[in-house]
Chain A
Amino acid sequence: MDQFAVKVFVRLRPSVLDPAGEATKSASIKLGAEGIKSLRIGKMIEVKIEGNGENEVREKIDLLCDRLFANTVIEDYEYSLEKL
């Protein structure tokens, strides 16, 4: 069995308004940060997972992302995978 560290990034689709991102952008400007054109908030999920090789682990992670971690009506996801 191989063990992998996976980092999943879940983001609101570009077409979905992100009011929390907008509020944080406004606070960033109040802090004095200049030049911020856009600020959107997503989620990062860290998973440690075992499997027989990278392909099998990718299949599991694809299922998790598609059915649980992200709601694909409003969110996109991507992930990186590192063998431990």
Chain B
Amino acid sequence: MDNFTVGVVVFPGSNCDRDVSWALEGCLDIRTKYLWHESSDLSDVDAIVLPGGFSYGDYLRCGAIARFSPLINALDEFVKSGKRVLGICNGFQILTESGFLPGALVTNKNLNFICDDVELDIVSSKGGWFNNGDEKQTIKLPIAHGEGRYHCDSDTLKKLVDNELIALRYKNNPNGSSFDIAGITNEKGNVLGLMPHPERACDETIGGTDGLFTLKSLVLK
């Protein structure tokens, strides 16, 4: 994929950074570079992944402290320039806490940490993050979270629906998310946040390849 480089952000407490890097490099031959959260120089990466984990130990609220890192401050310019940002799980929580995506992620309705494969309906392929060629397509991805219940007020939900910003919905809502929401994009489509882990579904031998398309789409211009 030429010199296209995906920056994988590492916060203290990130634990899916290496999985993301493995999926991109090993399964898709896309170059990656780890970005320590204190760096604000994003000049040599073309897209960014905020990986899953427990940044800053999830202190205060998930993603609340990570939001103040120099890297997240620099992300504003990066997003405005149209470059692509993918937030997975804790990365999605950081994107909502920092206002790149609307709503918030709160404790699962049943209080359990849920670790499972879930079926998801692709609602919108805005930004080209999902292959939505068919009339209605379903994919299977793993989830692993305790605070994954998407919450927003009714005005925000209407905006999400009207502007086709809902990317993924759970077929069997596991955590009580409003409107079964599992992933959303910003209006431009260059920022996607989702609770499921596409990087854990990139090889048939470990349970499926439904995550490949989303990771591959990081290289879209």
Contact = CB atoms under 8 A, between A and B. Distances in A.
Contacts of B188: none
Contacts of B102: 73
Interface residues of A, number: 12
Interface stretch (A16-24, A32-40, A47-55): A16-24
Contacts of A23: 111
A25 to B, nearest CB: 13
A16 B154 CA distance: 12
A81 B60 CA distance: 21
A19 B104 contact: no
Interface in A69-84: 69, 71, 73-74
Interface range, B side: 20 to 34
A69 B60 contact: yes
Contact of B111 (A16, A19, A73, A74): A19
Contacts of B97: 71
Contacts of B104: 71, 73-74
A26 to B, nearest CB: 11
Interface string B38-76: 000000000000000000000011001000100000000
B204 interface: no
B136 to A, nearest CB: 29
**Residue of A16, A20, A71 contacting most chain B CB atoms (<10 Å):** A71
B103 A20 contact: no
Interface in B72-109: 96-97, 102-104, 106-109
B165 to A, nearest CB: 16
B108 A19 contact: yes
A23 B151 CA distance: 20
Interface of A: 12, 15-17, 19-20, 23, 68-69, 71, 73-74
29 contacts: A12-B106, A15-B153, A16-B106, A16-B151, A17-B106, A17-B149, A17-B176, A19-B107, A19-B109, A19-B111, A19-B176, A20-B111, A23-B111, A68-B60, A68-B68, A69-B60, A71-B61, A71-B64, A71-B97, A71-B104, A73-B96, A73-B102, A73-B104, A73-B151, A73-B152, A73-B153, A74-B104, A74-B106, A74-B151
